[in-house]
């Protein structure tokens, strides 16, 4: 440990209770949950599916809330995610293997930066060329259209479609806060100047700048924004389709057995608010006949320096 650096950070942030909470979550709570207190989990690689739709940062009760008002085709169950943030979800599901029967269609840059090259048969990096500058995200319509194109292009591969919704920015019918996710994208493209980051709605909740009800309403609206695109995939894709999430978002739940409250989705904090995720399955016609083949191309043009900057910026608060 660099004690001089630690002392300077304490001097700088010592009066900030939020800073202390985050340090405690990182250095104590996460070590417990990834060690002796680790819960059992359900890796997506051990499930049976032809197409997997990943809704980024969608906790189970949020999905269930929308599903009860507007059911999708299929049967809803729940699973326990392996981690509480996208980097951990990717690393623990895919980091130690090769999956050359899968094409990964992603609005999330971490798929390109945090996994070894050649992990999948191909990666379709929608975050590079499908970015919406006005909304500062990849829209669900863009993700659905690209997923259908890729499914047609690769009829003998399993397809993962990783949406950014309902992750912030909240750009549905109810908007709240501002998250400069465009900076994450620009970092991954090598733009060293994109370091600006705005407060997330969950940080606003933690700071008392927004109520629980306000954040939940905007969070739900962001999932509703993606709902028609998810429905489209469930009706248009062939085979067994599963809809899930990589992790949830905490809104002040306590990290028992620790009394500390959690906001957002810090890595390694494996509480139900962050690991209880939906698992909706629907079979549409015959199953795919899947063949594993060596990767044929790569869309990767990111440096190790960019990798580190993405880890520092992160989606995790």
Q: What is the DSSP string of the chain?
A: --HHHHHHHHHHHTT-HHHHHHHHIIIIIHHHHTTTTPPP---GGGS--SEEEEETT--HHHHHHHHHHSPPSSEEEEEE-S-SSHHHHHHHHHTTS-EEEEEEEES-THHHHSS-TTSEEEEEEHHHHS-BTTTTB--HHHHHHHHHHHHHH-TTSEEEEEE-TTSSSEESSSEES---HHHHHHHHTT-TT----PPPHHHHHHTTSS-HHHHHHHHHHHHHHHHHHHHHHHHHS-EEEEEE-S---EEEEE-TTS--EEEE--TT---HHHHEEEEEEEEESSPP---------------HHHHHHHHHH-S--
Lowest mean pLDDT among 19-23, 188-192, 303-307: 303-307
With bands split at pLDDT 50, 70 and 90, how would you rate the model's confidence at 102? very high
pLDDT at 134: 86
Domain span holding position 236: 3-313
Residue where the block lists tokens 């304490």: 10
Query: What per-residue confidence (pLDDT) applies to 182?
Result: 46
Number of domains in the chain: 1
Contacts 24+ apart (CB under 8 A), 232-235: 232/144, 232/148, 233/51, 233/53, 233/144, 233/147, 233/148, 233/161, 234/53, 234/72, 234/73, 234/74, 234/282, 234/284, 235/73, 235/284
**What pLDDT is attached to residue 7?**
47
Q: What angle do CA 76, 81, 84 make, to 5 degrees?
A: 130
Residue 133's pLDDT is what? 84
Taking residues 73-85, report their average pLDDT: 97
Cβ atoms of residues 215 and 168 within 8 Å: no
Sequence-distant (≥ 6) Cβ neighbours of residue 48 within 8 angstroms: 240
Query: Would you state the pLDDT for residue 4?
Result: 53
Report the C-alpha gap between 59 and 107 in whole angstroms: 19
Q: Tell me the per-residue pLDDT of 43-54, one tens digit each, with 9 for 90 and over.
A: 999 999 999 999
d(CA 260, CA 254): 5
Q: Which pair of tokens denotes residue 44? A: 């997506």
The CA dihedral of 251, 137, 174, 163, to the nearest 10 degrees, is -70
Residue 69 tokens, joined: 């008002």
Tokens of 80: 């326990």
Main-chain phi, psi angles of 102, to 5 degrees: -120, 135
For residue 189, what pLDDT is reported? Answer: 61
Tens-place pLDDT, residues 112-130: 989 999 999 999 999 988 9
Q: Taking residues 135-146, what's their average pLDDT? A: 94
């Amino acid at each position: 440990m660099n004690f001089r650096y630690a002392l300077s950070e304490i001097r700088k942030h010592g009066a900030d209770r939020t800073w202390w909470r985050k340090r405690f979550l990182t250095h104590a709570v996460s070590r417990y949950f990834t060690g002796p207190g680790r819960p059992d989990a359900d890796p997506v690689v051990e499930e049976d599916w032809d197409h997997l739709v990943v809704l980024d940062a969608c906790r189970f009760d949020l999905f269930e809330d929308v599903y009860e008002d507007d059911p999708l085709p299929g049967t809803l169950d729940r699973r326990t995610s392996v981690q509480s943030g996208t980097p951990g979800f990717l690393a623990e599901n895919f980091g130690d293997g090769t999956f050359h029967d899968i094409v990964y269609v992603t609005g999330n840059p971490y798929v390109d930066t945090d996994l070894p090259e050649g992990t999948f048969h191909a990666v379709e990096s929608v975050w590079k060329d499908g970015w919406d500058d006005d909304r500062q995200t990849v829209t669900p319509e863009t993700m659905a259209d690209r997923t259908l194109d890729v499914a047609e292009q690769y009829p003998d591969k399993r397809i993962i479609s990783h949406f950014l919704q309902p992750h912030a920015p909240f750009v549905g019918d109810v908007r709240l806060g501002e998250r400069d996710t465009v900076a994450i994208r620009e970092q991954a493209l090598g733009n060293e100047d994109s370091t600006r980051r705005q407060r997330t709605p969950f940080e606003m909740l933690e700071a008392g700048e927004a109520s629980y009800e306000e954040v939940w309403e905007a969070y739900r609206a962001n999932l509703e924004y993606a709902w028609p695109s998810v429905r489209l995939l469930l009706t248009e894709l062939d085979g067994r389709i599963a809809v899930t999430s990589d992790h949830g978002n905490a809104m002040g739940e306590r990290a028992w057995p620790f009394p500390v409250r959690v906001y957002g989705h810090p890595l390694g904090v494996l509480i139900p608010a962050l690991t209880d995720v939906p698992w909706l399955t629907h079979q549409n016609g015959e199953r795919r006949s899947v063949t594993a083949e060596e990767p044929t191309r790569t869309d990767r043009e990111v440096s190790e320096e960019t990798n580190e900057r993405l880890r520092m910026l992160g989606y995790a608060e």
